[in-house]
């Protein structure tokens, strides 16, 4: 499965961006799609995940109330709406697919190429 992430860019603190990810292969209701991010000099970290069928979501604490993960089943597209962005949100954001809901990146076998989000202060 190829995952194509897009939507990154440069934004001022307090601004918003929406990331998109479109998998090329099949997505089933049991699959989980997630966003991870990797800031410069840091390890990749979990951001948010959604179960494709039930749309059950989970977020890391630092983005709760600011980021919203969603999916459009008809368009087979994953989104991450990011509001109230902070400089510490600067990172390369990756979308990924797994068979079960997890925050552990090792559970995710398919990854996109990443899209850079830069938040200026």
Confidence of residue 4 (pLDDT cuts 50, 70, 90): confident
- Read off the pLDDT of each residue in 54-66 and give the average, rounded to a whole number: 95
- Read off the pLDDT of each residue in 67-77 and give the average, rounded to a whole number: 95
* Each residue's pLDDT tens digit, 82-92: 999 999 999 99
Predicted confidence at residue 54, as pLDDT, reads 86
- Read off the pLDDT of each residue in 103-121 and give the average, rounded to a whole number: 93
Confidence of residue 13 (pLDDT cuts 50, 70, 90): very high
Predicted confidence at residue 44, as pLDDT, reads 96
Separation of alpha carbons 63 and 53, rounded Å = 23
Q: Closest Cα partner for 21 from 11, 13, 31, 12?
A: 31
Cα angle 82, 19, 95 (rounded to 5 degrees) comes to 110
* Each residue's pLDDT tens digit, 25-55: 888 888 999 999 999 999 999 999 999 998 8
Q: Closest Cα partner for 47 from 3, 1, 2, 88?
A: 88
Predicted confidence at residue 119, as pLDDT, reads 98
């Amino acid at each position: 499965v190829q995952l194509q992430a897009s939507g990154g860019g440069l934004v001022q603190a307090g601004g918003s961006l929406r990331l998109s990810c479109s998998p090329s292969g099949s997505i089933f209701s049991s699959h989980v799609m997630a966003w991870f991010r990797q800031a410069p000099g840091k390890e990749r970290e979990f951001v948010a995940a959604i179960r494709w069928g039930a749309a059950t979501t989970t977020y890391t604490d630092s983005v709760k109330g600011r980021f919203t993960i969603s999916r459009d089943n008809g368009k087979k597209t994953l989104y991450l709406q990011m509001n109230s962005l902070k400089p510490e949100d600067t990172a390369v954001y990756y979308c990924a697919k797994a068979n079960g809901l997890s925050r552990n990146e090792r559970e995710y076998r398919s990854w996109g190429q990443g899209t850079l989000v830069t938040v200026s202060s």
